[in-house]
Amino acid sequence: MSQKQLKEAFISNLNGTSLLEITVGLSLAPLCLLCRGLLLILYYLHYGKPLSSRKYSLLLDFLVLVSPLLFSCTVLSPIIFFMPAIIAAFCAGIFFKIYSQRKHETRVPFRQIVKDFQKTYLDPGYIPAITVFRVYVNVLTSISILAVDFPQYPRRFAKAETYGTGVMDFGVGAFIFGNALVCPEVRQKSPVTQPKFSSLARQFVSVWPLIFLGVGRLLSVKSIEYHEHTSEYGVHWNFFFTLAFVRLAASLLLAVFPRNTSWIVAINLAVLYQLVLNTTSLKMFILHGSNGRDTRDGFLNANREGLLSLFGYLAIYMASVQVGLCLLQFRNSVKGWLEAVCFLLLTVLLLFIFLHVSQAYADPVSRRMANLSYCIWVLAHSLTFFIGFVVTDLTLVFTKLLVKGSSVPCCWDAVKLPKACKKPETEGVPVGRGGKLPPICLISAINKNQLLFFLLANITTGAVNILIDTIHSKAAFTLCILHLYMFFNCFVMYILHAKNIVLKFW
C-alpha cells in the first residue's frame, strides 16, 4: 500500500466511543479554564497586582488551557476518566489556598459571601461562555485534525464510518452550533426595523471566504494527492462548503419564518428528513450509491454525503439559533444565570431521553447522514459543554468576591448596578496602569481571528503530514510535534491580537 492508502485506511472503518467518555472528555476544557482563572487570582492575592508579562501570560495560557487537552487525547487517553477528578482536585486545592490566605480586612462570613454572590450584578450584554465555547471548539478541532493521523490518538475518538459517536463527529456539529449562537439573526435586537431579507444579503457577502476556502482546499488536496476520507463528505465536498450553504439556507428560512419559531422549524426539518431516510431508498443511496456498489459517478453520487447531510446540519443550526435567542434574554444577576443553568440542565436531560428513544426506534447516531439522532446528540452535548463554561464563569465570579480587585480575562466582571448596555463581541483589553500594557488573553486572541486560526491549523496539518510519517511516530515525538504545532498556531494569533490585526475581508 502507498503512504496515501495507509493513511486513508488508518482513519477509515471506525465505530466511535461511548457518550459517557465524550462527556468526560468535554469536561476537561471548562476545568482547565477554571484552573487558569484560579491561578491568576492566586497570583493577584500574593503579589497585589495582575500578571502583567505578556510572555508569561501566553505561557500560562498555553500550558493550562491547551497542553492538558493534547495529553488527554494521546498518551493519557487510557486514564481519561480520572483526568477531570485530578484537575478538579487541583482546582479545589487552589481555591482553598485563596480562601484561607485572603486578607484579614476583606474576610467576611462564608454565608454572607454566598448572599452577596447571589445578588451580584453581571453585564447582561456580555456572555463570555459563548466566546469561550466557540474558541474551544476551534482549539479541540485543530488538535484533533492533526492528532488523528498519529497512532497515539485513540481510533475510537476519530470520526465513525457510518454509525457511532466519535469525538471528531461531535466537533463538526459543535462548529455549526457555535456559528449559530452569534449569527446576525440572534444578535440583532429589533428585527422589525430592518428589511426581512437584510440578513440573507449580508450572509451572501460573508460566506464567500468559506466558498473560497472550500475551493482552495479541494484544489490543493487533489493536486498533491493528499489522503482524504471520501465517505466523510464525498469526492469534491468539504466542511467549508457545508458551513457556507447551511448559513445561507438558515438565513433564508429565518427571513421567511419568525426567528422565535426556529426550534419548530428545526424539529420539522430533522423529523421529516429522518422519515424520508426510513421510508425511502435515500439511506441506501447515501451509504451505497445509486447502484448499490458505492459508485461515485456523477456529481450527486460523488458528493452524496456532503449534499444530503446539509438537511441535518441545517436543523442543528436552526435549533442553535433558538438557543442563542434564549441565552441573550435579559439576565443581569448571578441568580438569573443560576436559574438559566438549571433550565439548560433540564433541557439536556430531555434531549438525552429523546436521543435514547431516537436510537431505539429510528436510527443510531450517524454523522455521515446527519440523521435525527445525530442532531439531538450534537445539541445535547453542545449544551452540556456550554453549561460547563457558564458554571466555570460563575465559580470565578464567586472567587473574585473573596479577593477584591482581582480579574480574570474572558470572564464576567461584577457591576455595581444592572446595565443594559452591550459590550463589543470580542472582549476588549483594558488599559494597564502606569502606561503598561496588560497581558493578552489567548482566548481573546483566537476569538479575534477564528477563521484564520482554523485555516492556519488546516495548512500546518497538511504540511506536517507531507513532511512526517505520522503513522509510525513514537509517543515522545508525537507529543513534541503536536505541542509545536498548537503553539505555533496560538502564537500567530497572539501576535496578531497584540498588534490589533483582524484579517477579515468581508
Question: Using one digit for the tens of pLDDT, what is the confidence trace for 392-444?
Answer: 999 999 999 888 888 899 898 877 544 444 443 433 333 333 334 445 799 99
Give the whole-number percent of the chain exceeding pLDDT 70: 91
Give the whole-number percent of the chain exceeding pLDDT 90: 72
CA 324 to chain centre: 14
| Joined grid coordinates for residue 13 | 472503518
End-to-end CA distance of the chain: 44
Question: Using one digit for the tens of pLDDT, what is the confidence trace for 242-294?
Answer: 999 999 999 999 999 999 999 999 999 999 999 999 999 999 999 999 999 99
- In this prediction, residue 505 has a pLDDT band, given cuts at 50, 70 and 90, of low
- In this prediction, residue 205 has a pLDDT band, given cuts at 50, 70 and 90, of confident
> What confidence score (pLDDT) does residue 316 get?
98
The secondary element (H helix, E strand) that includes residue 122 is strand 121-122
Question: Using one digit for the tens of pLDDT, what is the confidence trace for 85-123?
Answer: 999 999 999 999 998 887 665 567 778 888 888 888 888
Contact 468, 481 (CB under 8 A): yes
> What confidence score (pLDDT) does residue 193 get?
57
The residue among 486, 488, 494, 463 whose CA lies nearest residue 73 is: 486
| Joined grid coordinates for residue 306 | 456532503
> What confidence score (pLDDT) does residue 102 get?
76
- In this prediction, residue 489 has a pLDDT band, given cuts at 50, 70 and 90, of very high
pTM to 2 decimal places = 0.93
Question: Using one digit for the tens of pLDDT, what is the confidence trace for 311-348?
Answer: 999 999 999 999 999 998 877 889 999 999 999 999 99
Question: Using one digit for the tens of pLDDT, what is the confidence trace for 147-189?
Answer: 999 999 999 999 999 999 999 999 999 999 999 999 988 987 6
> What's the DSSP call for residue 419?
-
Q: How far apart are CA 233 and CA 212, in angstroms?
A: 17
Q: How far apart are CA 131 and CA 383, in angstroms?
A: 14
> What confidence score (pLDDT) does residue 212 get?
92
H-type alpha helices, 27-74: 28-47, 54-61, 67-72
SS3 of 255, please? helix
